[in-house]
Amino acid sequence: MGKKKIGIVGATGYTGSELVRILHHHPEVEITAITSESRKGEKFSDVHGFFRGIVELELSSIKNIDDHELDLVFLALPHGVSMDFVKDHADAKYPIVDLSGDFRLDSPEIYEEWYKKKHVFKEGFENAGYGIPELFRDEIKDKKLIANPGCFPTCAILGLAPLRAGDIIENSMIVDSKTGVTGAGIKAKEVTHFPNANDNFKAYGVTTHRHTIEIEGVMNRLNNGGAVVQFTPHLLPVDRGIISTIYTKPKAGVDLSNLQDRYKDFYSGEPFIRIVDAPPTLKDVRGTNYCDIYVTYDERTNNIITISAIDNLVKGAAGQAVQNMNLLFDWPENTGLNQIPLNP
């Protein structure tokens, strides 16, 4: 059997370039097509100079994507744009891994409320699998459309899942997250302008961030509804990475003496989850598909405190997308994803 032919739709952003970085060394695939409407006709390395002499593929138009007889397509398109591609290619033979938020939520109505956009392909919600392999592996394997989770939700959900699924915490959860500026995308914005981001720190999207409802939706799936998530993101003056500090209240009578063992048992055999003995740092996971999780209990305040860390561009985006691809093709999930953290 030859290598699987892969297409990447939308290559000029951070997620598109990260997909290329990971897939270039994946032993089972070849990148056959990379699209960009704004840069078509140029080489990929003209857009991302660090690929010079490594990936020189010419960028093509999205209109020509089906000329390549692809086995899988990654969508690295903005929210509100991916849904058009999925609608137009609903009958395509290849599966789609969508890295936008267009199919992550429970319904088109919830999407329209939180994303403030009209959804044009509501049927997609019925067919999409939510792409956190550690939680929904069996569901993902049978889907042609995978909604790759958001970066903040990935970090928070993996930190919360053992508690919520184990029914040992109350319904109210507080998630306090910090991210690097690449989470805002590659296009210049006032908030990521160097004088504003450097040597600075700020909260944003307070009470309104769209990832709130994504986290809450998965918490409801894990334990019969009723979840209430207070999510506050913050912008760090660093390139990449997310750390989430999560506060939850244990239910009465729960034995909290073996919290770490609960996490180790829940994630037993998972190649990308590491339960650590001290709060993780961004550089512990930088450039990799790992999620490092630390958990403890504060008896004075009666809070379970969970701290999780991921690379927002890898486990929070491109790496998890490749992990989902590996599942779809029945390959070991760590295939092509054995990078060692870049530290320092």
Q: Under 8 Å CB-to-CB from 85, ≥6 apart: which residues?
A: 9, 62, 75, 77, 96
Q: Distance (Å, rounded) from C-alpha 232 to C-alpha 301?
A: 20
Greatest Cα-to-Cα distance within the chain, rounded to the nearest angstrom:
64
Among residues 223, 23, 242, 261, the alpha carbon closest in space to that of 154 is found at 242
Residue type, position 205, single letter: G
Q: Distance (Å, rounded) from C-alpha 161 to C-alpha 210?
A: 20
How far are the Cα atoms of 55, 96, 128, 307 from residue 295, in angstroms, in the given order? Answer: 41, 35, 32, 6
Residue 151 known to be catalytic: yes
Q: Which residue do the tokens 């003496």 mark?
A: 257
Q: Distance (Å, rounded) from C-alpha 111 to C-alpha 304?
A: 31
Select which of 73, 110, 151, 282 is catalytic: 151
DSSP state of 59: P
DSSP character string of 25-41: T-TTEEEEEEE-TTTTT
Backbone angles phi, psi at 262, to 5 degrees: -60, -45
Just list the catalytic residues. Answer: 151
